[in-house]
Amino acid sequence: MLRAHFLSFAIALIAGSLVLGQAPSPDPVPTWPESGQIPLGLENQYVFLTPEKDAVFVLVPEVHGGLAGNKKPVRIPLRNQQVPSVIVSMQELPSARAFQVLTTSRDPSPQSSLGMPSPVWETAYGRYLYQYTIENAPSAKDAIEVWLFVASPFARLRGTPPAQSNWGRAIGGAYLPQMPANAPQLELRGAPNGRYITWSSLEEGSGIAPGESLAGFEIVSDYKPGFTTARFKQALFIDQHVPGDWPPEVHAQLDFLRGFGWGLPTLLTFGPMFAPDAPRDEIVPNIRSGIARLIETGRLDPESAFVKEVIAALQETPPPDGRESRILSAPSSELEAEIKEALRISLGLEFSPAKTP
């Protein structure tokens, strides 16, 4: 049976993208004291993180009537203990695929009842195919029921779920120039915001359980690959556990958990980021930042011959004929192979070994 809150999820997705223009702070609320005694100075604090950051304790009145009387702690699990990984293959298609995309009318005359430009469907053409496999490690405690990544706000794309799965089509594929780009690049410091492209499981228990994986998530887009942020969660919104009659002061302190807020696992992956005619100077900073982040998080070996050559090539100025450097070393890992393919498509780097005379 379809989840009753799926429509609410779509609405929350849009709302969440509007409030996440900045990366959330690491610790938005204090940690719950081991003694259970609230320290002096925190008398007006009602929400606390557990030391493991997998739940919150909420102090609520024992009886209705405000916060003046005795309060009891209520534990709410955050369901954020996924251990995800992403495998992505990218290719430039031999011919463009046509698909329909929702956008807004360029003619200012048709107006909606809200005084906004009318939504219209138009044909877009995608030359770049992205295929994703999502894995949830055996050490995870929670299933992946929602996953999303940040795409360029200008990319036209179509996202489809794995065949014969209980996952819906990607939300966020519409191209709406009037909508603000407020999905933060949490894995790329200083990178501009984009928009979320989101997949959600549609039935209870159809997520990716610990120790399982699911292949077949596809994107066709007119934009070339670049590094971007992916996020993962269980299809749970904090308000499912928050009674409406809790005091407004308590509700306000829970705001950091609403939408796609604090505490979700994040990873660096590739997605549609650059227009077909994007200049090298626009693409290279993204790749440099992504490689630095992968090295920082231990996912990429800085001593790899392949990584060293790629870093050196990105520091060079191409010759007047525009030909990029040739990378002689072969990728030594799946992630390095992804980097190779992305750079071949987006920058035209050559990777085949040089021929001996």
**CB 158, CB 96: distance < 8 Å:** no
- Residue by residue, pLDDT tens for the chain (357 residues) are 444 433 333 333 333 333 333 344 478 999 999 888 888 889 899 999 999 999 999 998 887 767 877 888 999 998 899 999 999 999 999 998 888 877 765 554 444 445 556 778 888 888 999 999 999 999 999 999 999 999 999 999 999 999 988 998 888 866 666 666 889 999 998 899 999 999 999 887 789 999 999 999 999 999 999 999 999 998 766 777 788 888 889 999 998 888 777 888 999 999 999 999 999 999 999 999 999 999 999 999 999 999 999 999 998 776 665 566 788 899 999 999 999 999 999 999 988 764 444
The whole-number pLDDT of residue 357 equals: 43
In terms of Cβ atoms closer than 10 Å to its own Cβ (0-12, 13-18, 19+), residue 316 is exposed
Task: Tell me how far CA of residue 77 lies from CA of 47, 51, 263, 299, 355, in angstroms.
Answer: 13, 13, 12, 29, 58
The whole-number pLDDT of residue 226 equals: 98
DSSP string, 114-141: TSSBPEEEEEEEEEEEEEEEEEE-TT-S
The whole-number pLDDT of residue 20 equals: 36
The whole-number pLDDT of residue 107 equals: 52
Measured in degrees and rounded to the nearest 5, phi and psi for residue 18 equal: -85, -15
Residue among 177, 229, 237 nearest 10 (CA): 237
**CB 135, CB 92: distance < 8 Å:** no
